[in-house]
Amino acid sequence: MALGTMTWGRDTDEPEARSQYKAFIEAGGNFLDTADTYSKGVSEELVGQIIAEIGNRDSIFIATKAVKVELPRMYNASAIHITDALDASLNRLGVDHVDLWQMHGWDSITPIDETLRAVSNLYSQGKFRYFGISNYAAWQTALVISECKNLNIPFISTQHEYSLLARGVERELIPLLENQGKALLAWSPLGRGVLTAKYRFGTPVDSRAASKHFSSFIQEHLTEDKARIVDALVTAAEGIGRTPVETAIAWLRDRPGVGSVILGARNLAQLQILLSSDNLVLPQELNNALSDVSAPHSSYPESGWAQLPKDRGN
């Protein structure tokens, strides 16, 4: 599992961030995920400060991201921008390299050749160990994997939203990653907080759905169809004496193609609940039931007559 730091420096203040980091390390964690845009760079600064103070850089796997910029463009993967962005990230983190550097989104303006040649140059300078992407479509991911092979860039992962409420990656992306031996890093494993079951009977005043900043982001998962999935999750959790949070994380952790689940929490209490899922192995019948009730809709060409089951031959 990875510790996500998107809220650090905004919803999670410095003392709380330190408490989360300490609890994560004590639980055996070593993978931290951040980005240059999280809290406008403050997240990276906090990560760097805490690691420097504790002095355990050599045992920590740091992942960060670049490319996101202010509207109206949203993403800028030009050679100039990503080169400056990585240098700025390294400066805020106080390190000479990151372990995983990721492109935060697809830039439809910059030629992919320009982006990846800049990435290759930065890799040759030793500024990152491994390369990844985030929120790319399957065809875009396939293109990046192919080009990275040609340029000898060590591409290892892609980061996407994935949970019982968001299983779109299973249609084409997961099969691609498994075929190519790459991993998926799952963000928002609790369906933007909806799988905590706290929205079943209304919107708590202190929840993200009640905030101006996050309301529209949460509303996407507050539908009748997804409410039925939450109800099934609650029933399953009650049946094994665990929380919906633990059950949802355990289900996701063991899905094909998943390399890591990114745990994001505003406070230590939330993080401790997330971490408690590490020792939970779901009974196969319960796992199957949750998979069935939340199964994503698939159609031609990713499923159906054009994709013959393995046992039917050619």
| CA Rg value for the chain | 20
Q: Is 3 exposed, middle or buried (0-12, 13-18, 19+ CB in 10 A)?
A: buried
Classify 110 as helix, strand or coil. Answer: coil
- The residue annotated as part of the active site, out of 38, 123, 136, 199, is 38
Q: Rounded CA gap, 257 and 250, in Å?
A: 14
CB 82 within 8 A of CB 66: yes
Kindly state the helix (H) or strand (E) to which residue 3 belongs, with its residue range: strand 2-4
Residue 81 is which amino acid? H
Report the C-alpha gap between 46 and 92 in whole angstroms: 8
* 8 Å CB contact between 237 and 204: no
Distances (CA, A) of 181 to 126, 129, 310: 24, 17, 19
b/e code 241-257 from CB counts within 10 Å (16+ = b): ebbbbbbbbbbbbebeb
Active-site annotation holds for 38: yes
The string of DSSP letters for 41-69 reads GHHHHHHHHHHHHHT-GGG-EEEEEE-B-
Helix (H, G, I), strand (E, B) or coil at 12: strand
Closest CA to 48 of 115, 229, 38, 176: 38
Cα separation, 205 vs 23, whole angstroms:
28
Catalytic center residues:
38
